[in-house]
Amino acid sequence: MEFRVVFICLSLFVLTYAEPVKFKDCGSAVAKVSTVDIVPCPKQPCELRKGQSYSVNVTFTSNDESQSSKAVVHGVIAGVPIPFPIPNDDGCKSGVACPIQKDKTYSYVAQLPVKTQYPSIKLVVEWELRDDSSNDLFCVKFPVQITS
């Protein structure tokens, strides 16, 4: 009986546990990023399995106002940024309540689908969220490994 309780607790822990992803800032001009979370990502660099979708959660505090926010995602392969399509690039429909206000903290939550035709390589994902003037609210980058 006790063993079963411990087992259930452990399973729940493993399922919900998400260590913040180690990211680098690549020019967040308008906001300050506090955490980047990718679910699921049990070990780093995050392994992205083809055919699966991942949830990316970037928590940031804005230093300015913006009516809109637009996400731009690239996969950087050997230093060359290649557009990485996401289903919805509207940040205001991805957990961010627009208009964005100064000194408020937001969690931008988006889906990152990994297409089956992607190559099995290690690359850097560069994720930007741009404001009304096309300035980066945030720009974060983190390494991933695509696997089949």
Ligand X SMILES: *[C@@H]1O[C@H](CO)[C@@H](O)[C@H](O)[C@H]1NC(C)=O
Q: Judged by CB, which is closer to ligand X: 123, or 125?
A: 125
**How many chain residues interact with ligand X (CB under 6 A)?**
6
47 lies in the binding site for ligand X (CB under 6 A): no
Q: Judged by CB, which is closer to ligand X: 57, or 62?
A: 57
Q: Judged by CB, which is closer to ligand X: 54, or 123?
A: 54
What 3-state DSSP class applies to 45?
A: coil
Q: Does an H or E element contain 125, and which?
A: strand 122-130
Exposed/middle/buried for 83, CB within 10 Å: 0-12, 13-18, 19+?
exposed
Answer for the pair 27, 126: CB distance below 8 angstroms, yes or no. Answer: no
Site for ligand X in 49-78 (CB under 6 A): 57, 59
94 lies in the binding site for ligand X (CB under 6 A): no
